[in-house]
């Protein structure tokens, strides 16, 4: 046999119970609590005291509410979920007509609370979007620094520049090559290159418009001969300063002038490379003459083969074969000669830029621009080596000039 179905005990008050006695007090208390659709701390305390004072009354609703309240306040605090559970328990105690009114009031309060939460969330999101829009740059550029291989700038990049560092941009309207030229410098004014020509006009226009800019090293490309910084440049309007104050932007109107390039070390570097120039010219001249002779020999053999073909075809075939062999032999010889000339030119260029960079580093040491303390012994050693090499190369250059003059005489 199946067990008899158990029914939950009825805890709600009937119409006859709410007319008098303890049931009327409980009804009045519950109706007052649910009238506004929400529970306050004072109402919970008042309900708890009343239930404690009438705990011996023979009324199912009292025991039901006492159990519910004790479970909710067991951890010493009442959460919003606990308040909802207590409200629903009080509604169960009320008669059906009063219960509908209490539920409607509670649901209205919950709907308003939910609408307030959604409105607050939307307002917060709106404020965040407006704040982000106020922080958006007016213009943004992402470019690789140009001209890093001049004046030993790549050495400054290698020694002083890191990803995430701030740099500055300085217009050079008097630049003889481009009136829209914009230099890229370290924060102390040392130049590391230029904004590429295809962006310099727009960048120069943004600087002329005023406002503020933030230039940061995005990354440094190290796959080639020289490290190439990639800069992210952002321009902001003057009225955006309050919103971007934490970025510590630089004003466009008071940009720090770039230090002029060190012309003396560059000229001296090229002077030290002058003894190599005769070798470069000799190799290029020999390469050109050898190429001309090989091609002229191939042409002569092919013409000779054509001329004797009607007399002795076998001899013509041999001459033609010789021309083919010479033509095939010419390609690898010309390739080797071209590579040799290119290697000498690249070596001379690398030596020149190294000397220029070394001289620039000596200038930095003399001006105290190192991040560390300058070692005087190392500085003197640098100067001695440079002076010795310069003297030897200048003597060789003079001897080459004198030899050329004597041969001409």
Please report, for the chain, the start and end positions of each structural domain, with discontinuous segments joined by +: 17-132, 139-261, 267-408
For residues 9-20, average pLDDT: 78
- pTM of the entire predicted model: 0.43
Percent above pLDDT 90 for the chain = 9
**Residue 211: pLDDT over 60:** yes
Instruction: Reduce the DSSP state of residue 191 to 3 states and report it.
Output: strand
Instruction: Reduce the DSSP state of residue 168 to 3 states and report it.
Output: strand
Calpha distance 372→160 (Å, rounded) = 11
Return the top range by mean pLDDT from 225-234, 253-262, 398-407: 225-234
**Bridge partners (DSSP) listed for residue 171:** 182
**Residue 330: pLDDT over 60:** no
Calpha distance 111→107 (Å, rounded) = 6
State the chain's mean pLDDT as an integer: 75
Q: Which residue has the higher pLDDT, 402 or 41?
A: 41
Determine the straight-line distance between the first and last CA of the chain, rounded to whole angstroms. 138
Is CATH 3.30.70.2330 the right assignment for the domain spanning 139-261? yes
Over the stretch 241-292, which tens digit does the pLDDT of each residue have? 888 888 888 888 644 444 444 444 445 555 555 555 565 566 566 666 666 6
Q: Which of 122-136, 158-172, 200-214, 333-347 has the lowest mean pLDDT?
A: 333-347
**Residue 308: pLDDT over 60:** no
Calpha distance 179→199 (Å, rounded) = 13
Residue 179 pLDDT grade (very low, low, confident, very high; cuts 50, 70, 90)? confident
Q: Which residue has the higher pLDDT, 272 or 392?
A: 392
């Amino acid at each position: 046999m199946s067990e008899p179905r158990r029914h939950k005990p009825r805890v709600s008050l009937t119409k006859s119970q709410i007319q008098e006695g303890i049931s009327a007090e409980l009804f009045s208390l519950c109706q007052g609590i649910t009238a506004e659709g929400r529970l306050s701390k004072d109402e919970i305390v008042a309900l708890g005291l009343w239930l404690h004072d009438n705990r011996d009354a023979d009324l199912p609703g009292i025991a039901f509410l006492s159990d519910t309240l004790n479970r909710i306040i067991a951890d010493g605090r009442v959460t919003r979920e606990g308040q909802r559970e207590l409200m629903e328990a009080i509604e169960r105690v009320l008669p059906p007509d009063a219960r509908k009114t209490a539920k409607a009031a509670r649901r209205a309060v919950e709907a308003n609370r939910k609408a307030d939460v959604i409105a607050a969330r939307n307002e917060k999101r709106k404020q965040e979007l407006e704040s982000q829009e106020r922080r958006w740059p007016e213009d943004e550029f992402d470019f690789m620094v140009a001209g890093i291989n001049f004046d030993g700038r790549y050495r400054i990049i290698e020694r002083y520049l890191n990803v995430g560092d701030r740099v500055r941009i300085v217009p050079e309207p008097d630049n003889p090559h481009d009136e829209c030229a914009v230099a890229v410098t370290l924060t102390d004014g040392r130049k590391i290159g230029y904004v590429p020509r295809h962006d310099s006009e727009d960048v120069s226009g943004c600087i002329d418009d005023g406002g503020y800019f933030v230039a940061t090293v995005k990354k440094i490309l190290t796959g080639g001969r020289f490290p190439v910084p990639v800069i992210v440049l952002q321009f902001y309007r003057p009225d955006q300063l309050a919103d971007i104050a934490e970025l510590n932007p630089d004003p466009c109107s008071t940009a720090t002038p770039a230090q002029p390039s060190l012309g003396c070390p560059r000229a001296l570097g090229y002077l030290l490379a002058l003894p190599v120039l005769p070798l470069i010219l000799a190799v290029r001249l020999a390469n050109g003459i050898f190429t001309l002779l090989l091609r002229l020999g191939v042409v002569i053999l092919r013409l000779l083969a054509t001329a004797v073909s009607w007399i002795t075809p076998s001899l013509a075939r041999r001459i033609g074969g010789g021309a083919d062999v010479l033509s095939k032999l010419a390609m690898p010889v010309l390739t080797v000669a071209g590579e040799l000339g290119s290697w000498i030119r690249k070596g001379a260029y690398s030596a020149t830029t190294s000397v220029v960079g070394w001289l620039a580093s000596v200038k930095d040491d003399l001006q105290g621009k190192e991040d560390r303390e300058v070692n005087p012994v190392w500085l003197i050693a640098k100067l001695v080596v440079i002076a010795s090499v310069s003297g030897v190369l200048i003597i060789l250059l003079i001897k080459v000039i004198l030899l050329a003059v004597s041969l001409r005489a």
